[in-house]
């Protein structure tokens, strides 16, 4: 049996129509025939960058900087989507693009994927506000989600130093539908919680590709996370769930997440603390550990007996 490498991974772009005029960009990576995959996995990006820099990054000398490549080689049919207002998706509509709008975008993307792959269920992973988008989508569409992974998740925001600092700029966010980003802004993601969790070459490569796609990003998710939490009801997440929390994450407060975790009704649930990891887990020095945690959850056999 052939052992696949990153060179064997195939990438294809897709476009899904949202309404009458808006186009969403989807990126798909797989090995072999995707119809024979062990599962379809949709990655959901966060507030400050589009999907490809987050999930399909290339850094010379760092194998599997692309999470999509890693999971494609494990046998998954992997997808990511740029939310409206980000990356290669349409950006011309004058809107804040709140978390609920992102859940709407996931509805469009998942219906597109289900149709062309002739499938009924998908796995979903979201990070930061992407975890909120993913979990709100799952709350609205529980029969579509096979397994749900929430990384750097926030529930009420209680105990989050990052959100406490961010609220100081809330009026500025509300006064402008978009905010500018640059290389220094992306670098600050890695210095605000616990410097040293990511290699400088990874930070610079990540920042470069983010800023090549976007010079500004919507403010809606920041506003939601500052004044509209909680957005997701854990008691409505009936599918198997994984909560991933970086040791040094300044957004995902431990006690807040533990309270959220306790309210998830499905007994097939896990809460994992990732040592040595701050906020952007796929770009950290311990990224292979993060992949292993996620792959283990997605590959877990369903229980035969529940009592």
Count of CB atoms situated within 10 Å of the CB of 143: 9
What is the per-residue pLDDT for 1? 61
What is the per-residue pLDDT for 3? 87
- Average pLDDT (194-213) is 98
Spell out the SS3 assignment of 202-215: HHHHHHHHHHHHCC
| pLDDT tens per residue, range 7-59 | 999 999 999 999 888 999 999 999 999 999 999 999 999 999 999 999 999 99
Q: Which of 182, 218, 228 is nearest to 45 (CA)?
A: 218
* Domains, the chain: 6-299 (3.40.50.1820)
What is the C-alpha separation between 128 and 106, in angstroms, rounded? 15
Mean pLDDT over each residue of the chain, to the nearest integer: 97
Whether pLDDT at 296 is above 80: yes
| pLDDT tens per residue, range 164-197 | 999 999 999 999 999 999 999 999 999 999 999 9
| Residue in the block written with tokens 């998710």 | 221
Query: In the chain, what percentage of residues exceed pLDDT 90?
Result: 96
Whether pLDDT at 114 is above 80: yes
What is the per-residue pLDDT for 46? 98
Lowest mean pLDDT among 26-30, 148-152, 302-306: 302-306
What is the C-alpha separation between 51 and 112, in angstroms, rounded? 17
């Amino acid at each position: 049996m052939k052992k696949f490498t990153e060179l064997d991974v195939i990438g294809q772009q897709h476009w899904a129509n949202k309404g009458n005029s808006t186009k969403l960009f989807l990126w798909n990576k797989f090995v072999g025939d995707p119809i024979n995959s062990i599962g379809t996995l949709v990655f959901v990006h966060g507030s400050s960058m589009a999907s490809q820099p987050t999930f399909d990054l290339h850094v010379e000398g760092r194998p599997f900087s692309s999470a999509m490549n890693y999971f494609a080689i494990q046998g998954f049919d992997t997808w990511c989507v740029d939310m409206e207002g980000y990356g290669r998706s349409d950006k011309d509509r004058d809107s804040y693009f709140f978390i609920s709008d992102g859940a709407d975008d996931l509805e469009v993307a998942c219906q597109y994927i289900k149709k062309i792959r002739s499938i009924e269920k998908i796995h979903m992973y979201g990070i930061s506000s992407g975890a909120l988008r993913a979990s709100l989508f799952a709350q609205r569409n529980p029969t579509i989600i096979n397994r749900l992974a929430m990384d750097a998740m926030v529930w009420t925001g209680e105990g989050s130093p990052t959100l406490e600092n961010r609220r100081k700029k809330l009026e500025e966010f509300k006064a402008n539908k978009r905010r500018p980003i640059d290389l220094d802004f992306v670098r600050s993601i890695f210095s605000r919680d616990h410097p040293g969790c990511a290699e400088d070459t990874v930070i610079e490569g990540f920042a470069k590709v983010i800023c090549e796609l976007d010079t500004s990003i919507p403010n809606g998710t920041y506003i939601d996370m500052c004044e509209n939490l909680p957005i997701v009801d854990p008691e409505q997440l009936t599918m198997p769930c994984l909560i991933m929390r970086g040791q040094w994450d300044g957004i995902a407060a431990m006690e807040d997440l533990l309270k959220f975790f306790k309210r998830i009704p499905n007994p097939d649930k896990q809460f994992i603390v990732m040592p040595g990891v701050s906020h952007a887990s796929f770009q950290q020095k311990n990224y292979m550990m993060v992949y292993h945690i996620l792959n283990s959850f997605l590959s877990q056999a369903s229980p035969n007996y529940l009592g």
